[in-house]
Structure 1
Amino acid sequence: MSSTVTTREHWIISEKGQLFAQDWTPTETVGEPILLLHDSLGCVTLWRDFPEQLARRTGRQVIAYDRLGFGRSERYPGALPLDFIDDEARTFIPLVQEHFGFERCVVFGHSVGGAMAVACVAQHPQTCAALITESAQAFVEHRTRDGIRAAEVEFAREGQFERLQKYHGHKAFWVLRAWVDTWLSEDFSDWNLDAELAQVKCPILSMHGEQDEYGSAAHPERLTSVPGVPTMLRLLPDCGHVPHREQQPAVLQVVDEFLQRYLP
């Protein structure tokens, strides 16, 4: 599907601070909008051209926002709580829904954003028409922690931290420590999505790179093991942790196929 896409910027008020959001809306839209949830170091800008291409391919409005503490949103007040995944779904998703005025959406999360997407579906079943995860973690795995430790070492190299500052400004150190310290914390080691997945009643698509440095295929396998709901699992060969950048055409094709099959 091809169409002119209009991009707009938004500011959403929350009790903890303002959130920056953006939407990409085709001239002629179809179906429920797609809500994008970014990864642990991500923000709206780091989706790059994917939201626009997704809007063109599917004909749906695409919405993305910077979580509090990330990108252009305001600073997070204090340390990130260990229940930040459930808190995102509980506290901020309703604000995004109210601002954009949609009744239902397709929730699409990358990495930890995928976990937040699962939590969103579990907490707001009437709002979520379908669930899409990309490179999402369903539990804490040794590969996840090893990948984070390696990334922490890489960010300590000269010039590497500036990559984060480019997107998060003065909040960059908080962003890095929130990611590293949370996932390496012993108090977080037993975290998993089993309880949330048991509440999912909508169609699920889980995409995962076969060379994902932060998680094995055990994650999409668990994410698509929900009984009684339609599921699609796609492992992408020669692909790491960011399929929408590394293999964008394949991701767009799979997402479009999924939506046409289950939300025609």
Structure 2
Amino acid sequence: MQGQGSTQAEGAAPIEARDVWIETGQGRLYARQWLPARDVLPPVVLLHDSLGCVALWRGFPEALARTLGRRVIAYDRLGFGRSDPHPGPLDPAFVTLEAEQGFAALRAQLELESFVLMGHSVGGGMAVACAARHADGCRALITESAQAFVEDYTRDGVAQARIAFRDPAQLDRLRRYHGDKARWVLQAWTETWTADAFADWSLRATLPGVTCPVLALHGAQDEYGTARHPETI
């Protein structure tokens, strides 16, 4: 089941946008691909943040596909965006499990022999896990504002965000992208990252499995993590 279209800026090569549904054992994942006229290089796969989805990447994937001349793929994790609802609370190992479940299904269905991974925030941690688990195909890894472990600074930032989301307008904004799944999306973020059961989580055991070149980006004023995260990666 696919849909497709094309977009073109004035004087630029056309980029075809194509929707695809990824079958998993837990439900369907929604994915979107942006395909340049010539598609010969390994594609870039985008992994979204804790409140994100394909739609919230906005114009970035298309611009990336046009600039790099590569196919760009973004997908909604289970429970997010247009994907099926998640069956329950997140497993404390959900970051590394994404490499074995959602991403593995995407890679198999789209027949991705080789690829570049780019992840934002918790999606950056998942990109690390995917690069380690699928080292045979990962040609490069880019993380943006990724968390590599749980620190008090991160927990405090999430706790402040939880207070801000008491404003009904904030939840309504999430509903525009996640529909009836919005409250689950919010709680999956705020309750998981502040839970005692998640306090010892880290990527330290996973990182040695990453064998490709890595670019770790992190803002100096990031409200959810210090510079220790990109230094660790």
Aligned twin of 2:72: 62
Compute the displacement of 1:192 (Å).
Answer: 0.8
1:77-121 CA distance string (max 9 Å, x none) = 111111111111011212111222220100111000000011111
Q: 2:206 aligns with which of 196, 202, 208?
A: 196
Is 1:219 the equivalent of 2:229? yes
**1:24-173 to 2 correspondences below 5 Å:** 24-173=34-183
Corresponding residue number in structure 1 for 2:5: none
Deviations 1:210-262 (A, max 9, x none): 11111111111111xxxxxxxxxxxxxxxxxxxxxxxxxxxxxxxxxxxxxxx
Corresponding residue SS for 2:169: coil
Q: Distance in 2 between matches of 1:213 and 1:206?
A: 17
Amino acid at match of 2:49: D
- Please give the TM-score of this superposition, normalised by the length of structure 2: 0.93
How far, CA to CA, are the matches of 1:198 and 1:12 in structure 2? 29
Gap runs ≥5 in structure 2:
1-11
Identity of aligned residues (%): 53
Aligned to 1:5: 15
* Residue-by-residue CA offset, 1:37-71 (whole Å, 9 max, x unaligned): 00010000000000001111111100000000000
CA distance in 2: counterparts of 1:211 and 1:25, whole angstroms: 34
Q: 2:186 aligns with which of 159, 176, 187?
A: 176
Shift, 1:29, TM fit: 2.3
Shift of 1:176: 0.6
Q: CA RMSD in A?
A: 1.0
Conserved? CA contact 1:3–1:28, under 8 Å = no
Q: Tell me if structure 2 keeps the 8 A contact 1:3–1:59.
A: no
- How far the C-alpha of 1:3 sits from its partner, in A, is 2.9
Say which SS state the counterpart of residue 23 (structure 1) adopts.
Answer: strand
- The secondary structure found in structure 2 opposite 1:194 is coil
Distance 1:158 1:180 in 2: 16
**Larger displacement relative to structure 2 (207-216 or 35-44):** 207-216
- Distance, in Å, in 1 between the alignment partners of 2:64 and 2:121 is 18
Aligned to 2:4: none
SS class of match (1:129): strand
Bigger drift between 63-72 and 154-163 goes to 154-163
Q: For the residues of structure 1 that align with 2:168 and 2:83, how far apart are their CA atoms?
A: 27
Deviation string for 1:9-29 (max 9, x for gaps)?
Answer: 111111101110000010012
Aligned partner of residue 206 in structure 2, secondary structure: helix
In 1: Cα distance, 2:88 partner to 2:146 partner: 25
Q: Is the 8 A contact 1:41 1:176 kept in 2?
A: yes
Q: How far apart, CA to CA, are the structure 2 residues paired with 1:209 and 1:55?
A: 24
Superimposed CA distance per residue, residues 109-155 of structure 1 (whole angstroms, 9 cap, x where no aligned partner)? 10000000111111111021111100100111111111111111111
Distance 1:26 1:91 in 2: 28
CA distance in 2, matches of 1:96, 1:7: 17
